[in-house]
Amino acid sequence: MKDLINILENELRQAFRAAGYDESYAKVVVSNRPDLCEYQCNGAMAAAKQYHKAPIMIAKDVLAALSERENTSECSVFDKAEAVNPGFINLDAAPAFLASHLNGMAEDPRCGIPQAEKPKKIILDYGGPNVAKPLHVGHLRSAIIGECLKRLGRALGNEVIGDVHLGDWGLQMGLLITEMQERHPDLPYFDDAFEGEYPAEAPFTISELEEMYPAASARSKEDEEYRARALEATHSLQEGKRGYHALWKKIVEVSVADLKKNYEKLDVHFDLWKSESDAQPYIPDMVKKLKEEGYAHYDQGALIVDVAEESDTKEIPPCIILKSDGASLYSTTDLATIVERRKLFNPDELIYLTDKRQEMHFIQVFRTARKAGIAAPDTVMRHLGFGTMNGKDGKPFKTREGGVMRLEYLIRDINEEMEKKILENRNVREEDARETAEIVGLAALKYGDLSNQASKDYIFDVEKFTSFEGNTGPYILYTIVRIKSILERYGKEHPDAADGTILPAAGAAEKKLMLAMTGFGDVLTGAFAELMPHRICQFIYELANAFNSFYHETKILTEEDPAKQASWIALLKLVKRIMEEGIEILGFGAPEHM
Ligand code: ARG
């Protein structure tokens, strides 16, 4: 269904046209002076130039046309429409119209969320963990923001395919193989003469892998000979050496099982578990084409593609396709992955989520893909670079000992704090506190992240994120739980009550709540277009505030007029649905009590 603001704007368009002005001036926005009006249109000011007329004259002409329309139509849309110097058009929605719009939202199975007219096929590349390295806080943002964008894109009717794009092909694999050989030289993987079947069970656990990688990485920084061996092992693996390949497969298998478990805890789910190595078969042909068609050339031994453009305001270095030793790089893999994705899915859009420090990498990759026709001409490619999650000291978040914080421990810390607060609150039985804390803890973590603009750094503050007050996940859940409990009590007192109709708002707080609710679809559309989940958080927060103000001045359960009471109950049901749809898109759910 259509968003309320679009309906209002459509009215203004008609009025602009009827008054003889171009309807493109009829843009309606939510008022930035809520004390004066609910919506406003500032188009008369912009139109003044074109029509050589005072803006206030234009505004008055438009309003005359508008009032004519309103007089002849059955349901008037505006309660107030006035021209204010120097040419603003101030608007208030008519309560009856607002109520009927909300009843429409309540009947709509999509709760007023507009569905894409031309659904897009979008591949969302997020998560991006690396094999054998434990998930740490650096991977958290990619997972949380990516999962939200996936759900958001789908809610708007698109086909979104989430791909974890596992890092399984770089030097870290050579390091692990080398370290494994140091520790267990007798494993058949290292016996060149071995021709039998390699073991079905991995001869190592995830904990061993996780301990091995940092050890190997540290040693390679001090030990030249060791590093050379690791590079050699990486190369042999990439050349397809049988034993290494079998070992690599096992390492990936054990890692993936562990990663899946961890993402599950975050309620993050990928449709595809593809990886860097899957793109390797596409590299030779791609390189050949780049060379033959003259896009790539050699420079100091390396194969590069120039991607600088005249309009650049900063230097954009060439995209390196092959190093001078012939090895491929991160950009090579990403370009080959575009080839693969085009072949397998032919997507309309590719969206990548990584730390914003990778911005240059994606500029180079996208430009190369565009220029050389690796991506289809109409495929949109976007990179969302997010900021760093910092500790209270403003530096990248670390453990108390200064190490990299494992995601598991971070979740554990949040849940412990949450459980403490929930027990203090005494609304939940002690034996249920842990389970509730897990639900609310996930909300605290995800909301804490998503409510900050993705591109900015933010401070991870357990105390703040787990608070029941302010712009936090727990506050949002608390509001939902409050609505649930009112509805539950009403249901008990009126077991046979039929669904009520939402009546025009009786008071200011109720109207404010109603207006807030109508913004849902428009906010989702905007948040997706701009890849900005924090706008959804802002919307839900304002909706929760509007609901709580209404709740504090309205005696819902003791109301004596049954139609009025039923209308409020219907209103509450819709608020609850909008909030639940909203948090589902953010990636978490609400408990029954808290
Ligand atoms: N594994 C990479 C990293 O840890 C992230 C991968 C992101 N996706 C991509 N297609 N480059 O930085």
Q: For residue range 245-258, what is the model confidence (pLDDT) as tens digits?
A: 999 999 999 999 99
* Nearest residue by C-alpha to atom 8 in ligand 1: 128
Q: Average pLDDT of 195-220? A: 92
Measured in Å, residue 273 CA sits from the centre of ligand 1 at: 13
Let me know: does 518 contact 98? Beta carbons within 8 Å.
Answer: yes
Distances in whole angstroms, Cα of residue 23 to Cα of each of 13, 68, 79, 589? 5, 17, 22, 42
Q: Average pLDDT of 308-318? A: 96
Q: CA-CA distance, 369 to 366, in Å (whole number)?
A: 5
Q: Is the CB of residue 352 below 6 angstroms from any atom belonging to ligand 1?
A: yes
pLDDT at 491: 96
Q: Is the CB of residue 276 below 6 angstroms from any atom belonging to ligand 1?
A: no
Residues 6+ positions from 97 with CB-CB distance below 8 Å? 75, 76, 77, 78
Q: Is the CB of residue 581 below 6 angstroms from any atom belonging to ligand 1?
A: no
* Nearest residue by C-alpha to atom 7 in ligand 1: 128
Q: Is the CB of residue 448 below 6 angstroms from any atom belonging to ligand 1?
A: no
Q: Number of C-alpha atoms within 13 angstroms, CB side, residue 450? A: 34
Residue 404: pLDDT band by 50, 70, 90 thresholds? confident
* Nearest residue by C-alpha to atom 10 in ligand 1: 334
**Is it the case that residue 538 has pLDDT exceeding 80?**
yes
How far from chain centre, in Å, is Cα 287?
34
DSSP letter string, 314-331: S--PPEEEE-TTS-B-HH
Q: Is the CB of residue 165 below 6 angstroms from any atom belonging to ligand 1?
A: yes
Rounded to the nearest 10 degrees, the angle between the axes of helix 520-529 and helix 562-586 is 10
pLDDT at 497: 87
pTM exceeds cut of 0.85 = yes
**Is it the case that residue 521 has pLDDT exceeding 80?**
yes
Give the helix/strand (H/E) hosting 352.
Answer: strand 349-355
Q: Alpha-carbon torsion 96, 102, 103, 108, what sign?
A: positive
Q: Which two tokens stand for residue 552?
A: 């504090």
Cα angle, residue 559 at apex, residues 553 and 562 outer, rounded to 5° = 135
Residues 6+ positions from 559 with CB-CB distance below 8 Å? 565, 568
Measured in Å, residue 456 CA sits from the centre of ligand 1 at: 19
Measured in Å, residue 208 CA sits from the centre of ligand 1 at: 24
**Is it the case that residue 399 has pLDDT exceeding 90?**
no
Cα angle, residue 301 at apex, residues 300 and 302 outer, rounded to 5° = 95
* Nearest residue by C-alpha to atom 3 in ligand 1: 128
Across the chain, what does the average pLDDT equal? 94
What's the pLDDT tens digit per position in 44-79? 999 999 999 999 999 999 999 999 988 887 668 999
Residues 6+ positions from 379 with CB-CB distance below 8 Å? 342, 347, 348, 349, 350
* Nearest residue by C-alpha to atom 5 in ligand 1: 128
Burial of 73 (0-12, 13-18, 19+ CB in 10 A): exposed
Nearest ligand 1 atom, CA 358: 12
Q: Is the CB of residue 125 below 6 angstroms from any atom belonging to ligand 1?
A: yes
